[in-house]
Amino acid sequence: MEKEELVQLSLLGEPEPPAPPSPPRPPWETAGTLEELERLVGACRRCRLRAGCRRVVFGEGNPQAALMLVGEGPGQAEDEQGRPFVGAAGQLLNNILAAAGIERSEVFIGNVVKCRPPGNRLPLPDEVKACRPYLEAQLRLIRPRIVVCLGALAAQTLIDPAVRITRERGRWVEKDGLLIMPTFHPAALLRDPSKKRPVWQDFQAVLERYRGKEVTPDKTPGL
Ligand code: URA
């Protein structure tokens, strides 16, 4: 081969090898509806919790809610009924929503983990890690404007692992296009009624953003 031809060939270079196929995306990232996601969550065995609970509690409410509430994980009543916040803490949450003039059916209520931890213990870090993609997928599909984190675990999962709820509750956080309000968990109010007043203040702040109008500060209703 002439030298000139060789130079031309080397300029053209070898044909690019085909790019390796990208790994398939996990199904929760491609689920297009909440129903599809719920089916995936119902079949999940990514952590030990499913083996020890009765029902998977996916969450419930308006699939296009502008306001989403995120708790910790199902307790006994939720595990029995397959619905979030239906026990004593749920009753208190219902009272807070009713006092704020918010219908339960207009918001979406979910949890960090979808299966009840045995004996109502806190979910372990690896259980939170395994379940987190489902919460992220719920946020992607529902696209709420506002998220209320009910308790430390939700705030640490959605805001920052270093959040201390006593110090940071009541302060808005903007993250990933969401307005996030951390507040105490309703179960904490059952144990310590002095927390009702700050939680009511936090819900007034939420209401103001949610309804887009100023809310006259109200004295704490009988929750
Ligand atoms: N506590 C939670 O965090 N979530 C529920 O669904 C019920 C109680």
Out of 60, 83, 85, give the residue to mutate to test ligand 1, the one with the largest number of ligand atoms within 8 Å of its CB: 85
- 60 CB within 6 A, ligand 1: no
CA atoms within 13 A on the CB side of 90: 19
- 59 CB within 6 A, ligand 1: no
Greater pLDDT, 1 or 212: 212
pLDDT digits (tens, 9 = 90+) for 118-139: 998 999 999 999 999 999 999 9
pLDDT digits (tens, 9 = 90+) for 163-183: 999 999 999 999 999 999 999
3-class secondary-structure state, position 9: helix
Domains of the chain: 57-210 (3.40.470.10)
Which pairs with CB-CB distance under 8 Å and at least 24 residues apart come from 121-127?
122/72, 122/153, 123/49, 123/72, 123/73, 123/153, 126/47, 127/47, 127/48, 127/49
Kindly report the average pLDDT of the chain as a whole number: 93
Which pLDDT belongs to residue 221?
77
Q: Which ligand 1 atom is at minimum distance from the Cα of 153?
A: 3
Residues 6 or more apart whose CB falls under 8 angstroms from that of 164 comprise: 152
pLDDT at 55 over 90: yes
User: Which of 28, 154, 141, 159 shows the shortest CA–CA distance to 84?
Assistant: 154
Which pLDDT belongs to residue 14?
76
pLDDT digits (tens, 9 = 90+) for 75-95: 999 999 999 999 999 999 999
Out of 55, 56, 57, 78, give the residue to mutate to test ligand 1, the one with the largest number of ligand atoms within 8 Å of its CB: 78
- 84 CB within 6 A, ligand 1: yes
* E-strand stretches of the chain: 60-61, 67-71, 108-111, 146-150, 173-175, 178-183
- 75 CB within 6 A, ligand 1: yes
pLDDT at 3 over 70: no
